Chain A
């Protein structure tokens, strides 16, 4: 019998470690063709001509002209503006112009290189500042603003700032980040039982069919999507698989043969979505004692050429822009800027990490200017249960940040070290605080998603049917553990396979740290209902998400309880700086998180470790530059992510704070653990070197310029 607190093996560990798990790249079908994209080489311009040499027999090339008349050249993500194929003009480097199909990948590559596309190039807008200046003329109808919103609470921020003792102005910026899931993007389209069928490495199989069906004038349910074992995603396979699936579907419409597309690493680096670069501008008013009266915050995200899902990313960025703090008054404007870069999209944290890094940095700098310890200064503003949020809702849950701070400070010996390490002494310690709202914002879970889950009993075995995917985070294990624990049976009596849209109900996307919190809860409820029917040979139950009452949200004004449950975090990083080479050695990492309750401590341990290292890579190593629309880092040798030697072993801890509406008290955690190590690292480096950092990444080679 499996109990919720048992230490268990992940259900997929042995098949993966032994090399038996089959990823998309490992699949092969009879009579299968390979595909390769032909992409735009310029950031902005008109397509004058596409010269395709005569194709060898058995090789094909499809473009927007091959979409049937009943279809529409659009990928429906959250917005539908991203075109399946560029047609007439191109809006970013790497935009799909056509798809080549044929038997040999080497021949496809040679054909791709021989296709000549002539452009009438236009001046491109690449950065947020380019977009604000409408460089090259408006990308959209009249300007370069894809989307915007405002959130405010407290009094009139302008009036308060006008009578403040002083106003501190500061800008904080963050760069692109590439997901570098070890398995590159990959998809295969075929026809099975007369139905278009995808095998695909993805987070959200139901997104894929919804996104591409319109290309052939079909309904989503006319397309079947089967998720294959997915080798990492981190948001990079939330919407982006649609960009592979669309052209494949158009090719399949003409070819009626299995067609497989696997990006090589260079394609996956240069021509895939990235984390939104950001610029956050603060004007914070203080009274004569240095207390914050109000903060006026302008948030700009570089969304790239298409809106796709960026409005929702921006919203999350705005709703997290005052961090875990409660100021008397806050006003946040958010702007999603259109540029001619590859569209930005989901990446672990979904807009929250950028603004959380900005507010931590800003408050650290204010504290230092006032001669106060940053942790001492920040903790007086910690949010508490019942406090008003920037969306004029309330913090619903008990907040235990002080307990977490004590845990981390005592393990790291923060107070002693912070007092001892004088600015520029070569040693530094920094601490950050952060949160992450679990699941879709506001009433989105009920109004938009309406998740369903089905549990089926046959004899003494059970099958869970839902659309959540395993991408490495451990959800196949988590869900089976929840159901087995409720049913007081063994986990191996509970089956849960990679989803197939023809067989499972839509439980919503595997995103937004919602799987355990929302779908795990549906599984717990289904299992509880199942308990009364254990003597029946066959029984089925389907559960549907219900929003707890008394938590209003208005999606048109963005007012109300934006999130019912936040994960909370505290991270401390200690460094040593080499004064000659500026080399930074991280000597300690400590963290504490409130995730409600851990369904599986070992899986949570892996998430905490991995999330923190990804965040440290974001701050310290991972530089992705863009020149004229071209990413300059195209491989894992020039875009460097952390190895086993870059950071030391972490000490980690959890606080117990069960969440009322989560399974066994659990809430979201997958993104939370990414949201704060970056700011702790830069805080420590600033103290060690006596410098000020206003932009990440700060790889070692950039530190000299800050001295």
Chain B
């Protein structure tokens, strides 16, 4: 079975029931994707699957044939990723940081679908990603800042 991971083709012949999050973290050492709850509730393991935000703790490897998966390690190398990460840093959106790589992924999924979102759209887009530190306002600011600074990138 083959799929694309951060723009590279990956051939996978392991257990089809292995969770994507374990494959990423343990087999590929892509530890930017975090496991926060293991049941799809907290969003800390979010990655992009064919441009849409998914929780990698709920996806078995066997379901990935032909898919395009992007993790924070892939996104951070792109202009869009750099724009998002610097906006998060400048807006003060990062505290303990454990939820943040996935928040960046959620922001990317939003901006791919809507490059000029309003605050309500941003709040909705990150509503599946739990943050215990920030109270969200500064994360919302960061995403609005990225959309403004990165006009034309999405």
Indicate if A565 sits at the interface (CB-CB under 8 A). no
- Report A202 CB to chain B, min CB distance, Å: 13
Q: In the bound complex, do residue A13 and residue B133 qualify as a contact, i.e. CB atoms below 8 Å apart?
A: no
**A181 partner residues in chain B, CB cutoff 8 A:** 96, 98, 132
User: How does the 8 Å CB contact mask read for A600-617 relative to B, with 1 for contact and 0 for none?
Assistant: 001101101111111000
Question: Does residue A265 face the partner (Cβ distance < 8 Å to B)?
Answer: yes
Q: Which A617-671 residues have C-beta < 8 A from chain B?
A: 635-637, 641-645, 647, 649-650
Docked CA distance A183–B31 (Å)? 13
CB neighbours (8 Å) of B37 from chain A are 265, 635-636
Q: Which residues of A contact B136 (CB under 8 A)?
A: 609, 613, 642-644
Least CB distance from B43 to A in Å reads 9
Q: Which of B52-106 contact A (CB under 8 A)?
A: 71-73, 76, 81, 84-86, 88-90, 92-101, 104
* Chain B nearest CB, measured from A273 CB (Å): 16
Q: Which residues of A contact B130 (CB under 8 A)?
A: 180, 182, 636, 641, 643
User: Which residues 1-28 in A have Cβ within 8 Å of B in the complex?
Assistant: 9-10, 12-14, 16-23, 25-26
- Inter-subunit contact B101/A19 (CB<8 Å): yes
Of the candidates B36, B38, B101, B137, the one whose C-beta lies within 8 Å of that of A649 is: B137
Per-residue B-contact encoding for A11-47, CB less than 8 Å = 1, 0 else: 0111011111111011000000000000000000000
Known: A265-B37, A635-B37, A650-B137. A18 touches B96 (CB 8 A): no
Contact with A10, one of B32, B39, B89, B137 (Cβ below 8 angstroms) = B89
Using Cβ atoms and an 8 Å threshold, which residues of chain A touch B33? Answer: 19
When distances are taken between beta carbons in the complex, the residues of chain B under 8 Å from A13 are 88-89, 92-94, 97
**Would you call A229 an interface residue if the criterion is a C-beta within 8 Å of the partner chain's C-beta atoms?**
yes
- Identify the closest chain B residue to A264 (Cβ): B38
B82 to A: closest C-beta gap in Å: 9
B131 in the interface (beta carbon within 8 A): yes
Q: Is the CB of A644 within 8 A of B32?
A: no
B-chain residues with CB within 8 Å of residue A14 when the two chains form the complex:
85-86, 89
Instruction: Judge if B50 is at the interface, Cβ distance under 8 Å.
Output: no
> Does A349 sit within 8 A of B, measured CB to CB?
no
A423 in the interface (beta carbon within 8 A)? no
**Is B41 at the interface (CB under 8 A from chain A)?**
yes
**Contact of A182 with B44 in the complex, beta carbons under 8 Å:** yes
Residues of B contacting A232 in the complex (Cβ-Cβ under 8 angstroms): 95-96, 98, 132-133
Nearest CB in chain A to that of B92: its residue: A602
Of B37, B95, B100, most A-chain CB atoms within 10 Å: B95
Closest to A23 in B: B98
Q: How far is the CA of A541 from the CA of B76 in the complex (A)?
A: 40
Are B96 and A230 interface neighbours, CB within 8 A?
A: yes
User: Distance (Å) between the CB of B107 and the closest chain A CB?
Assistant: 10
Q: Which of B39, B86, B131 contacts A637 (CB 8 A)?
A: B39
B38 contacts across to A, CB distance below 8 A = 264-266
Q: When A and B form their complex, what is the total count of cross-chain residue pairs whose Cβ atoms lie within 8 Å?
A: 172
Task: Check if B132 sits within 8 Å of A606, measured CB to CB.
Answer: no
Q: Is residue B145 within 8 Å, beta carbon to beta carbon, of the partner chain? A: no
The minimal Cβ–Cβ distance linking A245 to chain B, given in whole angstroms, is 20
CB atoms of A19 and B72 under 8 A apart:
yes
Minimum Cβ distance to chain B for residue A182 (Å): 4
- In which size bucket is the chain B interface? 35 or more
User: In the complex the two chains form, what is the Cα distance from A184 to B38 in whole Å?
Assistant: 12
How far, in whole Å, are A621 and B125 apart by their CA atoms in the complex? 21
Kindly identify which residue among B30, B127, B134 contacts A610, using a CB–CB cutoff of 8 Å.
B134
A474 touches B98 (CB 8 A): no
Which B22-43 residues have C-beta < 8 A from chain A?
25, 30-39, 41-42
Q: How far is the CB of B139 from chain A (nearest CB, A)?
A: 7
Residues of A within 8 A of B119 (CB): 649
- Chain B residues whose C-beta falls within 8 Å of the C-beta of A229 in the assembled complex: 97
Determine whether A231 belongs to the interface, using a CB cutoff of 8 Å to chain B. yes
A9 to B36, CA, bound (A): 26
Q: How far is the CB of B27 from chain A (nearest CB, A)?
A: 12
B133 touches A603 (CB 8 A): no
Whether A636 contacts B92 in the complex (CB less than 8 A), given A17-B104, A649-B140, comes out as no
CB pair B134–A609 under 8 Å, yes or no, is: yes
Q: Is B123 part of the contact surface with A, judged by Cβ < 8 Å?
A: yes
Contact between B92 and A605, CB atoms less than 8 A apart: yes
Known contacts A181-B132, A606-B134; is-contact A17 B95 (Cβ 8 Å): no
Determine if B135 is an interface residue (Cβ-Cβ < 8 Å).
Answer: yes
Main secondary structure of the interface of B (DSSP, over half): loop
A498 to B31, CA, bound (A): 19
Chain B minimum-CB-distance residue to A635: B39
Give the dominant DSSP class at A's interface: loop
What residues of A have a CB within 8 angstroms of the CB of B99 in the complex? 182
A290 CB within 8 Å of chain B: no
Say whether A21 contacts B97, CB under 8 Å. yes
B127 touches A644 (CB 8 A): yes
Nearest CB of B to A183, in Å: 4
A182, B72: Cβ atoms under 8 Å? no
Contact for A265 among B32, B36, B126, B128, CB less than 8 A: B36
- Residue A529 is within 8 A (CB to CB) of chain B in the complex: no
* B97 pairs with A231, CB closer than 8 A: yes
Which residues of chain B are within 8 angstroms of A606 by Cβ–Cβ distance? 92-93, 95, 133-135, 138
Most chain A beta carbons < 10 A, residue from B30, B38, B44: B38
Complex contacts, B101 vs chain A, CB 8 Å:
16-19
The answer, yes or no, to whether A582 is at the interface (CB within 8 Å) is no
The verdict on A472 contacting chain B, using a C-beta distance below 8 Å, is: yes
Q: Report the bound CA distance from A314 to B36 in whole Å.
A: 32
Given contacts A13-B88, A19-B72, contact A644 B126 (CB under 8 A): yes
Greatest chain A CB density within 10 A among B25, B84, B137 is at: B137
Known interface pairs A19-B33, A636-B42, A645-B124. Does A614 touch B134 (Cβ–Cβ under 8 Å)? no
Please pick, from B30, B89, B129, B132, the residue contacting A234 in the complex, using a CB distance under 8 A: B132
A148 at the interface (CB under 8 A from B): no
B63 smallest CB distance to A (angstroms): 21
Task: Give Cα A513–Cα B129 distance, bound, in whole angstroms.
Answer: 28
Interface contact A183-B98, CB-CB below 8 Å: yes
Contact (Cβ within 8 A) B135 A20: no
Query: Which residues from B are CB-within-8-Å of A18?
Result: 32, 72, 76, 81, 85, 101
- From B84, B88, B139, A644 is in contact (CB under 8 Å) with B139
Asked whether B124 lies within 8 Å of A9 as measured between CB atoms, the reply is: no
Interface of chain A residues 494 through 519 with chain B (CB within 8 A): none
Given the interface pairs A644-B123, A645-B124, the reply to whether A609 lies near B44 with Cβ below 8 Å is: no
A63 within 8 A of B: no
Give A673's nearest chain B residue, CB to CB.
Answer: B135
Q: How far, in angstroms, from A21 to B85 measured CA to CA in the complex?
A: 13
Whole-angstrom distance from the CB of A491 to the nearest CB of chain B? Answer: 14
> Which B residues touch A264, using CB under 8 A?
38
Is A90 part of the binding interface, using a Cβ–Cβ cutoff of 8 Å? no
- Which one of B39, B100, B133 lies within 8 Å of A636 (CB-CB)? B39
Question: Could you jot down 10 A-B contacts, CB within 8 Å?
Answer: A9-B90, A17-B89, A19-B30, A19-B101, A26-B25, A182-B34, A231-B96, A606-B138, A636-B41, A644-B123
Shortest beta-carbon contacts, A-B, top 9: A19-B32, A16-B97, A472-B96, A231-B98, A609-B135, A13-B89, A613-B135, A602-B92, A19-B72
A interface residues with partner B (beta carbon < 8 Å): 9-10, 12-14, 16-23, 25-26, 179-184, 229-234, 264-266, 471-474, 602-603, 605-606, 608-614, 635-637, 641-645, 647, 649-650
Q: A180-B132, A182-B34, A602-B92 are in contact. List 4 more A-B contacts (CB 8 A).
A: A231-B97, A637-B41, A647-B135, A650-B137
